[in-house]
Amino acid sequence: MNDPTRPSATQGRTDIRVHEADFDVGHEIAQLRAGNAAIGAVATFIGVCRDINDGDHVAELVLEHYPGMTEKALGAIADEARGRWDVIDILIIHRVGRMLPTDQIVFVAVTSAHRGEAFAACEFLMDFLKTRAPFWKKEQTPAGSRWVDAREADDAAAGRWG
């Protein structure tokens, strides 16, 4: 229910950040929740750099992006999520540049009154981020560096939202 004395509490905000620096998940969640008693659920996703891909050892990952379009595309994806679910806050942090195995790559957090909206919106945001936001991964393997190919499974994951 909307609390008429705090109309902004249920509206929340969309926050999109693309940068090289690492992020502190605990800090980000605390900032999102701070003082907002309208939030009943926080769903989060953290994407992490693995040390293996397609059977090969990966020593490091370099993430390239299209500055400007990246933020625009993520903003459009967040708007679409807001149109589908009654969420309060959307936070998307995506790192670019050089990353090592175990490093955090991406963080998506969604707050809402109830868990169903937050879970669904968080998964939707990741599925669409992976197929629509202009990021490209290049990985360093023992055989040299190679661009990561897009996966059909990612298109299928985005497609199921209709």
Q: Alpha-carbon distance 21 to 24, whole Å? A: 10
Our finding on whether 133 is near another protein (CB under 8 A) is: yes
CA distances from residue 144 to 72, 110, 151 in whole angstroms, order as listed = 33, 38, 21
- Which CB atom, from 28 or from 71, has the smaller least distance to another protein? 71
Q: Alpha-carbon distance 36 to 22, whole Å? A: 26
Among 88, 105, 120, 121, binds another protein (CB under 8 A): 105
Phi, psi dihedral angles at 13 (to 5 degrees): -150, 160
Q: Total number of residues binding another protein (CB under 8 A)?
A: 28
Our finding on whether 94 is near another protein (CB under 8 A) is: yes
Instruction: Return the residue matching tokens 């705090």.
Output: 6
Cα-based torsion angle of the residue sequence 45, 33, 111, 122 in order, rounded to the nearest 10 degrees: -10
Identify which range of 3-11, 22-30, 31-39, 136-144 contacts another protein by CB under 8 A.
136-144
Give the pair of three-digit tokens for residue 155. Answer: 């298109």
- Which CB atom, from 11 or from 136, has the smaller least distance to another protein? 136
- Which CB atom, from 23 or from 66, has the smaller least distance to another protein? 66
Q: Which residues bind another protein (CB under 8 A)?
A: 47, 63-66, 68-69, 72-73, 94, 105-106, 126, 129-138, 147-151
